Chain A
Amino acid sequence: MATVVSPVKTRPSIIVLLQEVQERYGYLPREEVARCARAAGISVAQAYGVASFYNFFKLSKPGKYPIRVCTGTACHVQGGQGLLERLRSELGIEPGETTPDGLFSLETVACLGACSMSPAMVVGDDVYGRVTPREIPRILARYRRRG
C-alpha cells in the first residue's frame, strides 16, 4: 500500500541556491555555502560536497586577472599542457585556485575558439596566441606591474 508523496518541495534545492550565490559573488564564499545549507535543510558538509562536485561552481574568489588555458585538441597538440605546467609552477597554484595576493586565478577551458593561434590562453581580457612556456614569466610580470 504505497502512499503518494507530494512532489511539492518545501525546501529549495541546494544547487539553485548555490547558483544564485555564485551569480552574485562570482564564486561561493564559505559563509554563503553555510547559509545555503541551512536554507536547504542539509549539512554544510553535504552542501560543500555538491559545490565541489560541479566544475561550474567556483570555490575561491577569482583573481583580478583570471587566466584561462586552453586544453582543447588543437592547443593540446601544440603544447598547451606545457603552458599549464609553467603557469602552475610560476604561480604556485592548481587550476581552480587563486594566488594569495588575489592577482591571478588559474583554470583550464576546453576550447577558446582560437585554434588557429594554438596554444592559446587568456589573461584577464587579453588573448595570447602561439605562447611558449618561456614567455610566461614575462606575460605575468606585465600584470604584476599593473597590480
Chain B
Amino acid sequence: MSETSLHANGVTSVSMVTIKVNGQVLRAPEGANLLTVLRQAGFSVPSLCYLEGLPGIGACRLCLVEIAGVPKLQTACTTAVRDGMEIYTNSARVREARREVLQLLLGDHPNECLFCQRSGDCELQALAAEYGVRQKQYEEMLRHFEPDLSSPALAYDPEKCVLCQRCVRVCSEVQEVNAISLVRRGIKTKVSPPFEMPWAESGCTFCGQCTVVCPTGALTEHDDTARVWQALNDPDRYVVAQIAPAVRVTMGEAWADSRGVSRDEIPEDFSERIVAGLKALGFRAVFDTQFSADLTIMEETHEFVERFKRGERLPIFTSCCPAWVRFVELYFPEQVEHLSSCKSPQGMLGALLKTYYAQKIGVDPARITVVSIMPCTAKKFEASRPELGRDGRPDVDIVLTSRELERLMAQAGIDPGKLEPQPFDSPLGESTGAGAIFGASGGVAEAALRTAYYLVSGKDPAPLEFEAVRGWDNLRTATITIDGTAVRCAVVSGLAGARRLLESGEYKQYDFVEVMACPGGCVDGGGQLRPEVKAARGLHAQKRAAGLYAIDQKKEIRLSHRNPAIQKVYAEFLGEPGSSTAHHLLHTHYQPQDAYELVAATREKEG
C-alpha cells in the first residue's frame, strides 16, 4: 500500500502510507513525525516540548497516544509513521495519562498563576483547563530555586520551568549560540548558563528567542511596565516614546479583532493607533524609530562608502541588532572592527531626544524619560550599555517589548484598535519606506543600497526594490552594480547562519554584511507577541514582513536621503553625515570579549 512521489529535485523519495486515526483513514508520508502528521490532519494533540521543524524529544510526555498492538502509550513526537498504524489520540486511557502527566508537572509548579506574567497566555495553564485539572493532586513543592534576574533583558524562574528544553534547543539547534543547557540532576535540574553563572555574565546574546518558545512563565522578558507607570505618574518627568518598525505590523494580532480586521490578511500598519494609545496613557510625545532608521542609513551608508572607497575593514557589518553585536563581541572578538560604528536606530533616536529635542522644547534632558517600544529583548540590554548615554544617564531609559506594550495597554483598559489614529510627533516622527523595512531581514541592506546607489552615482536607483536581498533563506547574497562598481552584499538572519559565515571565513567575500540575530529579522524578534501555540512560526513572521513591505510600497518617499525631516536635522543640528557632532551622538564603539575569557574572568572574581 505505498506509492512513491518524487521531490522537485528528483533525489529524495517519500512513500505515502495509510494510517488510521480515531477510526479515520489518513494518507501520510512513511517515517514522518507522527505528531506533525496528526496536527496537520486537524487532530488536537498537546505538547509542551515539541518545536515545529526540530526532531521530537519526548520530554514533556503530553503527546501520548495509543497505538494498536503497542502495549504502552507512545509519545507521538518521537514516533515515526508506519504503514497500517492505528492510532487513538483521545481515548479514555490517553486522556487519563495526560491528566496524570499534568498533575505531576503541576505538583512541582508554584501556585502563582494569579501573579504570573504568563497568566492567560500560558500553555500549561491552558492544558490544565482543557483536561479539567481543577485540583492539585500533589501538594508539596520539592524544587526550590532562586530566580535569575541578573540581566536587564531576560528573567528566569526555575520553579516555573517544566524542563521541556525548548529554550535550550532554540539556543543550540536554531541559534547555535549554546549559551544554556540543562544542569544538575533530579529535582535539582534547571536550565542555566555554564557554571550556573548569572545570565547577565554568560555567553547569552539576549536575543530572547527562548522567551518566545517557553510554554510557561519560566523564561520571560524582564518586565519593565511598572517602571513606565512610575515615570508616567511622576509629574516632573517628561515621558516620550519611540516605536520600532516591526511592532506596528505585529500589534494587530492582539488588537485587530476589535476592528473586525481579519488576521489572515497582510497586517495593517498599527503605528498611529499605538501613538493614540500611548498618548492616552499620558506620553507627552511619540516618535518613530523609523525616522532614526533613516538616520542610521545616512550615517551607515556614509561610513560604508568611505570604507569601501579606501578598501578599509571590509566588509562592514551592520550594527542595528544588539544581539548580533553582542554575538560578535563574545564569539568573534577579532571581527569586532568590521562592525559599523553606528548606534542602532533606537540608540540614535535616544541620543537626539536628549540633546536636539530637549533643546528644541526647552526641557532639561535629565527630566526626559525615553521609552522604546521594541520587538526585541536584546534592546533592553543595549539601552543599559554605558556607551549609550551621556552624563551618566542612559539615552533610552526604558525598553518595552511588544508583549509588554500589550500588557501596558491592557492594564490601562485601552484597546488601541478602537482608537482614532494619531500621527507621530514632529520632527523626529517622519520616516520613509526605507526606514520601515528595517524590521524585516534584508531591509537594512536594501535601504542602505538605495542610498549608497545615490551617494556613489548621484542618481536614485530604479527600480527601488532590491529583490535579491529579500526572502527567508538564512543567507542571501547579491552583487549590485553601481556605476560600474560591484558591491557584494550578504544578508543573514539567525545567529546560526552568522556563525557559519564568520567561522568559514566566507564573510571576506563581501563588502556589506547585514545580520539580524533572529531568524526572519525583527518581525520574529525575541520580544514579539507569541504566535498561537500550534501555528508554524515562520508564517507569522512572513506576514508581518509583508506588512512592512506594504508600508514601504505606500510611502511617497522611499529613500532615506530624501526624508525632509532628516535633511532638517542635519541642517539644524548635525551638520553632515559623519560630522563630529554626528560621531559624538550617533556613533559608538564595541568591546571584544572572548566568551571563554568571560568564564575565566568570573572565576577570578570569585577567587
Q: A interface vs B, CB < 8 Å? A: 29-31, 33-34, 38, 43-49, 52-53, 59
Contact = CB atoms under 8 A, between A and B. Distances in A.
A29 B603 contact: yes
Contacts of B180: 45
A49 B196 CA distance: 10
Contacts of B181: 43, 45-46, 48-49
A52 B185 CA distance: 8
A46 B600 CA distance: 17
A34 B599 contact: yes
Given A29-B603, A30-B602, A31-B599, A44 B203 contact: yes
B74 interface: no
When A and B form their complex, which 7 residue pairs have the shortest distance between CB atoms, in order from nearest? A43-B178, A49-B181, A48-B194, A45-B181, A52-B183, A44-B194, A30-B603
12 contacts: A30-B194, A31-B603, A34-B599, A43-B172, A45-B172, A45-B178, A45-B180, A45-B203, A46-B181, A49-B182, A49-B183, A52-B185
A29 B196 CA distance: 14
B195 interface: yes
B184 A30 contact: no
Interface string B474-503: 000000000000000000000000000000
Most chain A CB within 10 A, of B179, B181, B182, B602, is at B181
Interface string B575-598: 000000000000000000001100
Contacts of B184: 52-53
Contact of B195 (A38, A43, A48, A53): A48
A34 B202 CA distance: 13
Contacts of A33: 194-195
Contacts of A59: 195
Contacts of B196: 52
A29 B195 CA distance: 10
B315 interface: no
Interface of A is mostly: helix
B595 A53 contact: no
Contacts of B185: 52-53
Contacts of A29: 603
Interface in B411-458: none
Contacts of B602: 30
B375 interface: no
Interface of B: 172, 178-185, 193-196, 203, 595-596, 599-600, 602-603
Contacts of B599: 30-31, 34, 44
A46 B176 CA distance: 12
Contacts of A47: 194
Nearest to B171: A45
Nearest to A102: B607
A125 B185 CA distance: 30
Nearest to B190: A52
B12 to A, nearest CB: 11
A13 B195 CA distance: 20
Contacts of A34: 194, 596, 599-600
Contacts of A43: 172, 178, 181
Nearest to B186: A53
Contacts of A30: 194-195, 599-600, 602-603
B209 to A, nearest CB: 15
B495 to A, nearest CB: 13
A144 B534 CA distance: 60
B595 A44 contact: yes
A48 B183 contact: yes
Contacts of B203: 44-45
Given A29-B603, A30-B195, A34-B599, 4 more contacts: A33-B195, A45-B178, A49-B182, A52-B185
Contact of A46 (B178, B195, B596, B603): B178
Nearest to A31: B600
Most chain B CB within 10 A, of A30, A43, A45, is at A45
A40 to B, nearest CB: 13
Contacts of A44: 178, 194, 203, 595-596, 599
A58 to B, nearest CB: 13
A53 B186 CA distance: 9
Nearest to A47: B194
Nearest to B178: A43
A48 B196 CA distance: 9
A44 B599 CA distance: 9
A116 to B, nearest CB: 31
Contacts of A48: 181, 183, 194-195
B602 to A, nearest CB: 7
B332 to A, nearest CB: 15
A29 B607 CA distance: 12
Nearest to B600: A31
Nearest to B168: A45
A137 to B, nearest CB: 27
A45 B169 CA distance: 12
Nearest to B202: A45
Nearest to A100: B606
A34 B203 CA distance: 12
A38 B596 CA distance: 10
Contacts of B178: 43-46
Contacts of A49: 181-183
A44 B202 CA distance: 11
A45 B194 contact: yes
A84 B477 CA distance: 63
